[in-house]
Each structure stands twice: as C-alpha cells, then as structure tokens.
Structure 1
Amino acid sequence: METHISELAWRNPDEAADFKALVRISVVRPGKILVTEPLVIMVALISASSWGMIYLFTESLTVVYLSMGFTKTQASLPFLAIAVGVLFTFLPRLWDMKIVRDRQREKVPVQPEDKMVGFAFAAPAQAIGLAWFAWSIPPMVGGVHWMVPTTALVLVGFAVNETAHTLSRYLADSYLLYSASAFSGLALVRAIASGIMPLIAHEMYAGVNANYAGTILAGLATMFCVTPWLFFRFSKRLRQRSPFARFSLETHYRTNVESN
C-alpha cells in the first residue's frame, strides 16, 4: 500500500529490536500510558472493578447458596445465570451497527464515544443486579425462592461482559496505534483485581454478612453509574489533549486507512 507520505516507510521485516527498545516499547510505554492518561486510568479502574465481580463470585456464590440448603454441586449452578446474561450483550451490538451505518451514510467519522451506549445500560444494570441479589438472600431475607436472587445474576452477567467489551473497544478506537500499550495497562489492573477479589470474598460474605457485603458492592456499582455520562461529556476533550490518542488519530487519517 502506497501512502505517498514521505516520512512514513515500511520497517525492515527482518529487523529485530534491541533490548533497550524492547523495554521501552513493552514496559515503559504501557506504564507511562497507564499512569499519565486519564482515560486509561478510568477505563482500567472501572473495568477491573466490574470484571473482578466474577472472581469474587467464584468464592461468594457457593457460600450464599450453601446457606440456602444447596449441595456443593447445586451451589455452583447459579453461575449459569451469569452466562445467560452474557448472551444478552448482542442487543447493544445491534444499536452499534445502526450508529455505524448512520455515520457512514452521513459521511461522518465514527467517534469512539458513539459506540458506548451499551456501557450506559451496563452500569445501572450492574448496580441493580447487585442490590437485587444482596437483598433477596439469607440471613436477613428468608423464605425467598432461589430463582429470585439467581435472576439478579443475569443482570450482573450482562453488565460485566458489556462493560468489559465496550471499554476495551473504546481504548482500541481511541488509541489505535498505541492500543496494545493501553491494553497492557488495562490487563495489569484487571489481573490485580482478579487476584484480590477471591481473597476477600469469603471473609466478606461469611465473616461479615452476605446482605451487607452485597450492599457494599451495589453501592460501589451505583457510584460508577455516572461514569458513562462523564465519558460522553468529557472523553473527546481528553482524547484531544492526549499526545498518544492525538498522534494515533492523525496517523490513522493521514494513511487513509478507512478508504483503503
């Protein structure tokens, strides 16, 4: 592909980066993006908090359903409700495709924020699902059929998967050339959260109180409900101020990637 841009040239495919370049690209740059880019910091914290719920539930759901008289095998089956919730994430994709078609028809570039509608639904869905689950389980709520809290997990499954998908794609659309570095920071924070959550889950649900523990999680999720609107309102301005996002977008347009 010829770009007719003199300062852009193919790298030698046989060229191997030296150790210094490897460290700069694979370690220093992802670390710099993670700690200096407000958008990456926000995405990493939100995504890690949401994604960590799945790892927290690997320990806490068994405790909850054992207290409802389930066997150990039966207590693992509610995870299927989370899987069902994941299936519903196809619905926001239909809306995303409509937005892309509309922008193409109008000959207007698709902005990263245009495909974040699903996150606007996922954030409150997670808060509602966690609150619903917290106050339909023992010990403070008794005599409720097991399907009531289990249905709440469908909302949680949808919210966790939709949040992870939408925010990951947002980073890819925003940082383009540097998306791998942005994803490295995101993966690091998510891995840390995923490692911590199972360690505190049993103590939260068995040691404190399942209802109170669930309420704390629902409260934190409620705080994140405002974040989609913060992205809609401020993220474009932050992208324009970001040297990484701005350079990536300029390179993207200059090479006429879309038209080729």
Structure 2
Amino acid sequence: MSQEPLFFDKTGHLEFGPDDVDNPKNYSLKRKCYVTGIAILLVMNATFASSAPSGSFQSVSEDLKVSAEAAGLVTTLFLVGYCAGPLFWAPLSEFYGRRNIFWISFALYLAFGFLCAFAPNFGALLAGRFLTGAAASAALTNAPGILADVWGAVGRGNAMVLFATMTFVGPALGPVVSGFLQVTKNWRWTFYVLLWMAGLTQLLLLTLPETLPAMALRNKARRVRRTTENDSVRAPVEDSDRSLGGVFKIALTRPWKLLVDPISFLVSIYYALVYTLLYMLFSIYPIVFQQKRQWNAGIGELPLIGTVVGACIGGLLLFVNTQIRQRRFAHGRTPVPEDRLPGAMVGAVMFAVTIFWFAWTAEYDSIPWAVPTVAGTFLATSILLIFVTFINYIIDTYLMYAASAVAANTVLRSACAASSPLFTQYMFDAMGVGGAGSLIGGLGVLLMPMPFVFYKYGALIRAKSKFASTEETRNPPADEESLPKSLTMNSVSNTNNEPLDERN
C-alpha cells in the first residue's frame, strides 16, 4: 500500500496538499451539504428554544403560581445565556476545535433541558433556561465557522444566507408550536418537544467531522506519525506558543474596544433595535390576535408564520442578488465593504414603512387580519436584509478583528432582546398598538439614513479607525454575500490568537 504524498510549508510543518481529502474545503458536495445540514439543525434547536415558551406563558403562570410578567423571564434568562455564551464558546472552539465543543455544549444543552421540562418550581425553570441558553449559544457562535471551513467563497455565501434565514425561522415557529401545546396539553410539552429535537441532533453530532483546518491538519499529522512512525511530521498548531489564557484574554477584552469604534457602535445600535423588535413580536402578536381579536393561544400564534415567509423572501432576495452580482462582476475590481450596503438601504426603508403599516392596521379590529399579517411578513424581510447585510459589512470592515466586533454586537443585541418580554405588554397596553408601534417606527426612521451615510462616507470613517480596513475606492463586489478571502482560512497563522468562529 503506497503512502499518501505529504506537503510541508517553509517552516517544515505539514500542510494540506492539492485535492487533499483531509482538507474540509475538499469534501465532496454531498458531505459538505450533510455537514451544513447539521450546522443548520443546531441553529434551529437554539433559535426555536429561545422563543418557544413565549406561546405558553399563561400555562407557566397558572401552573407555577407566578405572574404573567414573571413568566416572561423564561425567555429573558435564555437570552441572557446567549450573552454569556459567545465569549466562552468561541475561544474554546478556536483552541480545541469545532467538534469537541459542539459535543460538550450540546450535551449540556440536552441535560439542562431535562431540568426545564421537569422543573419542580419556577426558580428551577429559570436556572435551567439560563443554562440551556448559555449552552445553545455555541451553535450561533460556532456554526458559521463550520460553513467557512467547508465552503469556498460562492458556496459559503449561499450557506450563510440559509444560516441567517434559520435564525429567524426558528424563533417564529417556536411560539406557534407552544401555543397549540398550551391549548391541548400544558407548558411542559413545549420542553418535551425541545428534548426530542435535541436528542435527535445529539445523535447526528456523533457523525460530525472536525472541520477547523488547524485541528484537521493536526489530526492528519497524528495519523501520519502513527502509521509511519515518523515523529518529525507535525502540524503548525502543535508547535505554536498560543495558550488558552491568551485566547480568552483577547476574547474578553477586544470586543469592548471594538464596540466604541464608530461603525461598530452605530451598527450595534441598529442591530439592537431590530433584534429586540424580533423578540417583541412574540408578545405583540398575542396582543393583536389573542387579546384584541379574541383568538385562542393556538390560532393566535399562526400569523407568526407570515414572518417565516418574510424571512424566506429576504433570504431568496439575497441569494438572487448574489448570483446576479457574481455574473456581473466576475472579472471586476476588488470590492470594498461599502459595496454590501445596498441591501441594508432597501431593508432600512422597508423596516420603517412596514412598522407603521403593521402598527396601524393591527390597531383596528375592523381591518382584516390578513393586512397586519402581510405587513409582518415584509417586516421580517426587512429585518433579514438588515441583519445579513450589516453582519457582512462588519466582517469586511474589521477583517482580522471581525470576530471581536461580531462578539460585541452579539452580546449587545442579545442583552437588549432579553428585556423585551418584560416591558412589551406594559408598553402596548399603555400606548396602544398604533402608538407603541409608531414609537418603534420613529426609531427606525432615525436610524434609516445610517446605511446611506456609510455607503457615501464609510471609507472616510474607516480611514480614521485604528481597527478598520482603509480601502477608499468603492468597487463592484464579486460576491455580495461572501467573506473576504483573508477570513476564510481559519489558519493557525493567526498571529493575534483572534477567535475566528464568528467571522462569517
């Protein structure tokens, strides 16, 4: 049996050769799709679980003898876990690899899910929700890294659109399922469903290969040493001087430095608004369709399916736009970050318009239910356009610091969204659907010029930043939704020990 040819870099370390089957980028299309499917399923578990109990707050309140407002903490504590998780799981994934961290984090998610499902009191339920949120956040933090590991520029762009769409589909479907379970069963059945989903996913995780290139190369080096007894074959990561403490130091300090940088700060504010509104919708829809129109808890959550359709429309628009731009600019100049912003421009205008449309058609029961439902559909489309476009803009703007910028953004938006179940009911009771919606719409109008300003002056703003890239000429993009090539390798040559998991 002939030995496979080995390739080494200038320092004498093992590297992937052309068409190397151990390189995740060279997986077959079938295997890439399978790995992507597992990553998307992980995300669906996390996002579905984040909002699912919101459809059964009444049942929680009655069974555990707490107020309806206190029941909202079931969602709040889960999202607080979202805040803590990214700063913990991303460095561990960079240090130990994707697969091991997914195995551990999801096993914890499944274990703490039992605590939620069989909680003897409200305190135990809240503790379980915080812990499951922290564990589930590994999916949102590290799943994009898997997509970057296995796909090239074109495939990764399409996979990322699918990933972003699922981050909206999951939360929208959660209340629909739990609403019907509240009518026919009780709130614990929501957590039984979550356990069934998690159990299936945990089994599939056993088949997930290690995709982080540095770890895949290390595994190959170990296999070569074992089969050839040549101890001189080593991967770069095996001789690097990085430490877990150093990785955590960067992960816990740099995001806050990036947060106050102008572009990162303003985008984070915009993100906080749209992400908070997303979780407010899970309280707003029951107000509109159950409280005002007297629908039951099951039927009253069905209009949320409109937001699922809207997210899919947004994903389809981004996918089509990517294909068009790839053909148009296949031989164009190197793109700069501002080339991504037209999608956010459309989304910003649509966001402001659809908020007012939804609020004032939902205010009056005489208006058919389909009208605010359609408004909510296009509201979800606008949120997805803003979400995907700006996350790619942040990545392109900060390049080697993108992981820190995205981590800061994730913590801020999750913290804001965590508060939404605690004030939404009071806000809409006091101001009415039209008034409260107009307040949110007014904020949307104030933030609407942001992508337009960045499109025109972004290069000048970046030039004054010590973190941002400084290209000053706007060129047509070759791939609207793909990452810069410098972010796709996740190699061990990252001299800053920057966690790369969220760069997608």
Q: What band does the TM-score fall into relative to the shorter chain? A: 0.7 to 0.9
Please show how residues 59-208 of structure 1 align to structure 2 within 5 Å: 59-66=283-290, 67-89=292-314, 90-106=316-332, 108-138=333-363, 141-208=364-431
Residue range with higher mean Cα deviation, 218-227 or 238-247: 238-247
Say if 1:123 and 1:159, in contact at 8 Å, map to a contact too. Answer: yes
How far apart in 2 are the matches of 1:114 and 1:97? 15
Superposed CA deviations along residues 161-212 of structure 1, whole A, max 9, x for unmatched, are 1111111111111222111111111101111111112211111112331211
Say if 1:99 and 1:114, in contact at 8 Å, map to a contact too. Answer: no
Question: How far is the alpha carbon of 1:50 from its aligned partner?
Answer: 0.8
Superposed CA deviations along residues 43-88 of structure 1, whole A, max 9, x for unmatched, are 1111121111110111121011111121111111111111111111
1:200–1:235 distance in 2 versus 1, CA, 3 Å:
same
TM-score (norm 2): 0.45
Say if 1:177 and 1:248, in contact at 8 Å, map to a contact too. Answer: no
Q: Secondary structure at the match of 1:175?
A: helix
Q: Secondary structure at the match of 1:245?
A: coil
How far apart in 2 are the matches of 1:154 and 1:217? 17
Structure scoring higher RCO (CA < 8 A, sep ≥ 6) equals 1
Among 438, 441, 455, the alignment partner of 1:232 is 455
How far apart in 1 are the matches of 2:340 and 2:421? 32
Say if 1:92 and 1:117, in contact at 8 Å, map to a contact too. Answer: no
Equivalent position of 1:56 in the other structure: 280
Q: Which has the larger radius of gyration?
A: 2
Say if 1:64 and 1:205, in contact at 8 Å, map to a contact too. Answer: no
Gaps of 5+ in 2: 1-6, 11-213, 215-234, 473-483, 490-504
How far apart in 2 are the matches of 1:233 and 1:3? 42
1:51–1:3 distance in 2 versus 1, CA, 3 Å:
farther
Question: How far is the alpha carbon of 1:18 from its aligned partner?
Answer: 3.9
1:28–1:34 distance in 2 versus 1, CA, 3 Å:
same
Say if 1:113 and 1:231, in contact at 8 Å, map to a contact too. Answer: yes
How far apart in 2 are the matches of 1:193 and 1:247? 31
Q: Secondary structure at the match of 1:246?
A: coil
Residue range with higher mean Cα deviation, 20-29 or 117-126: 20-29
Letter in 1 for 2:390: L
Question: How far is the alpha carbon of 1:3 from its aligned partner?
Answer: 9.9
1:154–1:3 distance in 2 versus 1, CA, 3 Å:
farther
Letter in 2 for 1:55: Y
Letter in 2 for 1:27: L
1:253–1:119 distance in 2 versus 1, CA, 3 Å:
closer
TM-score (norm 1): 0.84
Say if 1:176 and 1:248, in contact at 8 Å, map to a contact too. Answer: no
Gaps of 5+ in 1: 5-9
1:163–1:213 distance in 2 versus 1, CA, 3 Å:
same
Residue range with higher mean Cα deviation, 122-131 or 207-216: 207-216
